[in-house]
Amino acid sequence: MKGLDTNLRLQASPQLSNVFLPKRLTLVRNLNFRSSSSSSPAMLKLFSSRVHHLTPAIRPGPRSSVDSPLFKALSQLTGLNRRSSSLGHRVFFCSDSASEAEAAAAEVAEAEAKVAEAEAEVADSKSSSAIVSTNPKPEDCLTVLALPVPHRPLFPGFYMPIYVKDPKVLAALQESRRRQAPYAGAFLLKDAPSTDSSSSSDTEKNISELKGKGLLERLHEVGTLAQISSIQGDQVILVGHRRLRITEMVSCEEPLTVKVDHLKDKPFDMDDDVIKATSFEVISTLRDVLKTSSLWRDHVQTYTQHIGDFTYPRLADFGAAICGANRHQAQEVLEELDVHKRLRLTLELMKKEMEISKIQETIAKAIEEKISGEQRRYLLNEQLKAIKKELGVETDDKSALSGKFKERIEPNKEKIPAHILQVIEEELTKLQLLEASSSEFNVTRNYLDWLTILPWGNYSDENFDVVRAQQILDEDHYGLSDVKERILEFIAVGRLRGTSQGKIICLSGPPGVGKTSIGRSIARALNRKFFRFSVGGLGDVAEIKGHRRTYVGAMPGKMVQCLKSVGTANPLVLIDEIDKLGKGHAGDPASALLELLDPEQNANFLDHYLDVTIDLSKVLFVCTANVIDMIPNPLLDRMEVISIAGYITDEKVHIARDYLEKNARGDCGIKPEQVDVSDAALLSLIENYCREAGVRNLQKQIEKIYRKIALKLVREGAVPEEPTVTSDVEEAEIVAKLDVESPEKDAAKELKEEEAETKKIAVEKVMIDESNLADYVGKPVFHAEKIYEPTPVGVVMGLAWTSMGGSTLYIETTVVEEGEGKGGLNITGQLGDVMKESTQIAHTVARKILLEKEPENPFFANSKLHLHVPAGATPKDGPSAGCTMITSLLSLAMNKPVRKDLAMTGEVTLTGRILPIGGVKEKTIAARRSQVKTIVFPEANRRDFEELAENVKEGLDVHFVDDYGKIFELAFGYDDKQQD
């Protein structure tokens, strides 16, 4: 026992530091274990009583923070937690230290005394003390040093650390310990008179300033005889023994010494039922407290396990000491000497404590639920991430993503404009801050994706070689010399300037004349990337300018998409069908296109999605349109229009021979020697099947012919000798095999070759001429446009222009009825307003001319006429049929047909002047197609005609007129004999 004690003392002694903690904790745990497992009360008493020698040193004193690591460690060990705010003020329970007159207390004291007996006898036998009696028994201590305890009274059986600031008091205490009378009186301080009731605000300093009588007045009369268990620096550990009452002050000197009475509990009947019941209630409440609060679990456990050692008074003390009652209530319990009353007081305090701990529990539960909910979410998210990573679903986490973006921009960082770089940097930072599952994260990621993938400052090297360009253009297209010339000019300028600034070329013409394919050729000639987008029917400005990023599924405009897909900043962009631009319900697409195309504006083109300006000035724009008039004017202003009118038969033959046939042959895998399409067949195809201005339909028909030829060839067994898919390796293997194999195999091989030879001969060359053309392309679609041969009276051929090219049309007039004053005109043939007016003008002008030529002819005055323009299903409009109508009316009036093979076009005024018309080339081509020999054009169109290619003008007798008189001459002034 002694050995252990010494050991403990050593452990409890000097400067504690965290370093020593594990050792101590182990010791404490051992002690706890022993104390709880011991069945002998004596053993328990001893061990436990030693615990408080140790524990106080590592328990926080009233002054020390409950947050100290030491305390936390101990709390974990003993099951204490921080739920008690008043913990620092509490005394600590020592499970079986003495109380009252019990033997246990005496034993402890005796043990203590015995431990130091030897030293004491040697050192202090002669010395005497005025303060503490040399008598070591507690009950003999009638004069004690009065120690003020600030927060709670010390209960018998508990220990309490206090801090003694006064060096005199400290010295006196040490002295008394040395004298083997280590006792003092611990008295609770009364509230300071000036401060409020909860005068726990009494600082240590205030207390240490209280001296003598002043101090006595502030002390409660009833206190506890406390054994001085240890002194470390100014920390003194007191163990409560029994109740005292101050009777008088011994002296005014310091430290305050008082005379005391030892108080005894009022005698009570151990078997009293009320006391028993009360004590049971206290115990059961203790158990409840234990259930709801783990705070004092250790103490309660220890207590309940050794309930047998406790008496009612001790039970009451225990309850009062551990519960969080305030100092006054605790003092009340201390002062109560009636055991039953004391038990009741304690019970009250404990019930209160129960309620508090219940409330505490619900608060804690609510908070815990909240925290655990969040934690759960976090945990699940982390797990999800890990699973995704494991499955390879989400490999691009934030850092990988930004790494990817940085890598993208790294190679041409110096080429990226500063304002773009800045935006990229900002967005990258933003990306790091955003939650990966948030929608904004996705928006930012997509935005960065677009920003970093665009070819900032990345230009393809332009080729300004005019000769090469010419070669390429000729390779791709027949004719179109004016278009090609214009493109070569553009390249030449680029060569001289070193750069080709973005220009807008607009190719206009009927479908299938090669507008789109020329665009492609230009890109090839200039060594630019090609991108085509059609704006036909486009009504949404966002298609051009992009959506704002905030919209779900927002996308940048077509131009940004184009830059991304071509990967260079100077592509050739073909904007198809610009004349069919839709009308936007929100915003005008034409204006958006203007911003895109205008060289003044497009250096700073702002896409709504990108939200940064991009330079499109290096982009070469080529637009295509069928009708120039439909292009919005502001757009047209900025374009350089090159019109492609369509092809004449001769041109079509060339195109078919040199381009379309070649392509079709290649596409069908047919060799040139396997097929022969005669000139007559081609001509017939063009004349009777594909009369439109362009060659798209011709291309289709040629492809149809070649597909049929391919089928025929295959049916007849003309398959390529070796499958084209055989790889080199396979071939080598076959050769090797044949090499090794016997001469019989060689013979077989020869036989095979012979067979193939004969087959080849068997498959004759496929010949296509006029006679079998219908087998390939069906019956002719068109018949001759000329429906009259020769034209009868009242019928004249006019020339019309449509978006599909030119065409010839007849104007027919006939008499409905004749009679005095019946003159009038009916019109049919789906004519537009302009054309209807034209008929009225023509009627008037014709009447006037007839009056001049045959003054006595009353035809117009007496005849009801009907004018019709055939192909009644086709709507027609325009003023250019004016002269044709007059001629038709005059022919009827004079009963004379017009000259053979004559066609005419021209607007006529009321005075008979001929005004210019449009589409000269198309009309000429149409006239040629109808074997017209003589054409009448307005004088003002002479230049247009002269600009036409020679092959178009060839063999035509063209007359340019500015007055109807000349047409009259031409149409009717012929020699009848010649006409036949």
Cβ-count burial of 619 within 10 angstroms (0-12 exposed, 13-18 middle, 19+ buried)? buried
Give the containing element (helix H, strand E) for 868.
strand 863-868
Q: Mask 845-884, x = binds ligand ADP (CB under 6 A)? A: ----------------------------------------
Footprint of ligand ADP on 566-625 (CB under 6 A):
624
Q: CB of residue 956 vs ligand ADP: minimum separation in angstroms?
A: 22
Classify 818 in phi/psi space as left (phi over 0), alpha (psi -120 to 50) or beta. beta
- Contact pick of 515, 558, 899, 929 for ligand ADP (by CB under 6 A): 515
Is 805 near ligand ADP (CB under 6 A)?
no
Write the DSSP string, 884-910: HHHHHHHHHHHT-PPPTTEEE--EE-T
Does residue 50 touch ligand ADP according to CB under 6 A?
Answer: no
Active-site residue, from 529, 558, 921, 923: 923
Type and span of the H or E element at 676: strand 675-677
Residue (639 or 831) nearer to ligand ADP, CB = 639
For 229, phi and psi rounded to 5 degrees? -80, -45
Q: Report, in Å, the least distance between residue 777 CB and ligand ADP.
A: 17
SS3 call for 942: helix
- 510 among the known binding-site residues? yes
* Interface of this chain with ligand ADP, residues 168 to 227, rule: CB under 6 A: none
* Binding pattern for the stretch 57-96 against ligand ADP, x by CB under 6 A and - elsewhere: ----------------------------------------
514 is a site residue for ligand ADP (CB under 6 A): yes
Instruction: Give the shortest CB-832-to-ligand ADP separation in angstroms.
Output: 26
3-state secondary structure of 65: coil
- For residue 788, which amino acid is it? Y
C-beta of residue 605 within 8 angstroms of C-beta of residue 563:
no
Cβ proximity to ligand ADP, 80 vs 473, nearer residue: 473
Q: Do the annotations mark residue 672 as ligand-binding? A: no
- d(C-alpha 766, C-alpha 775), whole Å: 12
Whole-angstrom Cα Rg for the chain:
59
Residue with tokens 């000036």: 194
Judged by CB under 6 A, the chain residues 475 through 494 that form the site for ligand ADP are 477-480
What does the alpha-carbon distance between residue 976 and residue 437 come to, in Å, rounded to a whole number?
93
Q: Is 484 a catalytic residue?
A: no
| Residues within window 621-650 making contact with ligand ADP, judged by CB under 6 A | 624
Q: Rule CB under 6 A: say whether 512 interacts with ligand ADP.
A: yes
Report the alpha-carbon distance of residue 664 to residue 548 in Å, rounded: 46
Q: Which of 150, 494, 511, 919 binds ligand ADP (CB under 6 A)?
A: 511
Eight-state DSSP code of residue 246: E
Do residues 452 and 412 touch, judged by C-beta distance below 8 A? Answer: no
Dump the DSSP string for 783-812.
Answer: --S---SS--TTEEEEEEEETTEEEEEEEE
Pick from 654, 661, 665: nearest CA to 478: 654
User: Could you tell me whether strands 863-868 and 158-163 are parallel, antiparallel, or unpaired per DSSP bridges?
Assistant: unpaired
Window of 472-480, 581-589, 727-735, 759-767 that interacts with ligand ADP by CB under 6 A: 472-480
Could you tell me the smallest distance in angstroms from the CB atom of residue 453 to ligand ADP? 30
Question: Judged by CB under 6 A, how many residues of this single chain contact ligand ADP?
Answer: 18
Q: Which is nearer to ligand ADP, 318 or 659 (CB)?
A: 659
Query: Residue 479 Cβ, how far from ligand ADP at the closest point, in Å?
Result: 5
Q: Between 625 and 835, name the residue whose CB sits nearer to ligand ADP.
A: 625
Among the listed ranges 511-519, 559-567, 632-640, 868-876, the one in contact with ligand ADP (CB under 6 A) is 511-519
Is 509 annotated among the ligand-binding residues? yes
Which of residues 522 and 811 has its CB atom nearest to ligand ADP in the complex?
522
118 and 2 Cβ atoms separated by less than 8 Å:
no
Residues 6+ apart with CB under 8 A from 607: 545, 546, 556, 557, 559, 560, 614
Of 572 and 893, the one with the shorter C-beta distance to ligand ADP is 572
Question: Which tokens hold the place of 441?
Answer: 């994260």
Stretch that binds ligand ADP, among 97-105, 134-142, 512-520, 578-586 (CB under 6 A): 512-520
Measured from the CB of residue 658, what is the shortest distance to ligand ADP in angstroms? 8
Q: What are phi and psi of 695, to 5 degrees?
A: -120, 10
Considering the complex, state which of residue 385 and residue 654 has its C-beta at the smaller distance from ligand ADP. 654
Distance set, CA 786 to CA 646, 808, 920, 928, 932 (Å): 20, 8, 20, 11, 9
Q: Smallest gap, in angstroms, from Cβ of residue 520 to ligand ADP? A: 8
Query: Is 511 marked as a binding-site residue?
Result: yes
Residue whose pair of structure tokens reads 């080339």 in the numeric block:
921
Cβ neighbourhood burial of 91 (10 Å; 0-12, 13-18, 19+): buried
E-assigned strands of 66-203? 92-93, 143-149, 158-163, 183-188
Q: How far apart are CA 875 and CA 831, in angstroms?
A: 6
Residue whose tokens read 């503490």: 132
Q: For residue 539, say whether it is annotated as part of any ligand binding site.
A: no
CB closer to ligand ADP, 54 vs 526: 526
The reply to whether 530 sits near ligand ADP by the rule CB under 6 A is no
Residue from 655, 709, 710, 971 touching ligand ADP (CB under 6 A): that is 655
Residue 257 binds ligand ADP (CB under 6 A) = no
> Is residue 357 annotated as a catalytic residue, yes or no?
no
Does residue number 557 form part of the binding site for ligand ADP (CB under 6 A)? no
| Residue from 513, 590, 867, 904 binding ligand ADP (CB under 6 A) | 513
752 assigned binding-site residue:
no
The encoded tokens of residue 223 equal 């206190």
Cβ neighbours of 268 (radius 10 Å): 16
- Of 694 and 912, nearer to ligand ADP (C-beta) is 694
Nearest CA among 639, 482, 531, 508 for reference residue 577 = 508
Sketch the per residue contact string, 673 through 702, with ligand ADP: x for CB under 6 A, - otherwise. ---------------------xxx--x---
Please list every residue from 260 through 319 that binds ligand ADP, using CB under 6 A.
none
Phi, psi angles (nearest 5°) of residue 974 = -100, 165
517 near ligand ADP (CB under 6 A): yes
Can you list the positions of beta strands (E) in 339-443? none
49 is an interface residue for ligand ADP by CB under 6 A: no
Helices marked H in 79-182: 103-115, 117-124, 167-178
Whether 669 has a binding-site annotation, put simply, is: no
Q: Smallest distance from the beta carbon of 461 to ligand ADP, in angstroms? A: 26
Cβ atoms of 258 and 141 closer than 8 Å: no
Return d(Cα 316, Cα 346) in angstroms, integer: 6
State the nearest-atom distance from the C-beta of 643 to ligand ADP, in Å: 11
Shortest Å, Cβ 834 to ligand ADP: 28
| Minimum CB distance to ligand ADP, residue 513 (Å) | 5
484 or 847, CB closer to ligand ADP?
484
| Least distance to ligand ADP, CB of residue 535, Å | 14
Residue tagged 């040139």 (tokens): 672
Its sign, for the CA torsion 301, 306, 307, 309, is negative
Q: Is 512 annotated to bind ligand?
A: yes
C-beta of 596 vs 655, nearer to ligand ADP: 655
- Any contact of residue 516 with ligand ADP (CB under 6 A)? yes
Catalytic residue among 84, 99, 279, 880: 880
Give residue number: closest CB to ligand ADP. 514
- Considering only residues 450, 659, 706, 945, which one is a binding residue for ligand ADP as defined by CB under 6 A? 659
- CA 190, 192, 195, 201 torsion: positive or negative? negative
- Cβ proximity to ligand ADP: between 254 and 482 the closer is 482
Give Cβ neighbours of residue 373 (< 8 Å, ≥ 6 apart): none
What are the catalytic residues?
880, 923
Binding residues: 509-516
Query: What residues make contact with ligand ADP under the rule CB under 6 A?
Result: 477-480, 511-517, 624, 655, 659, 694-696, 699
Binding residues for ATP: 509-516
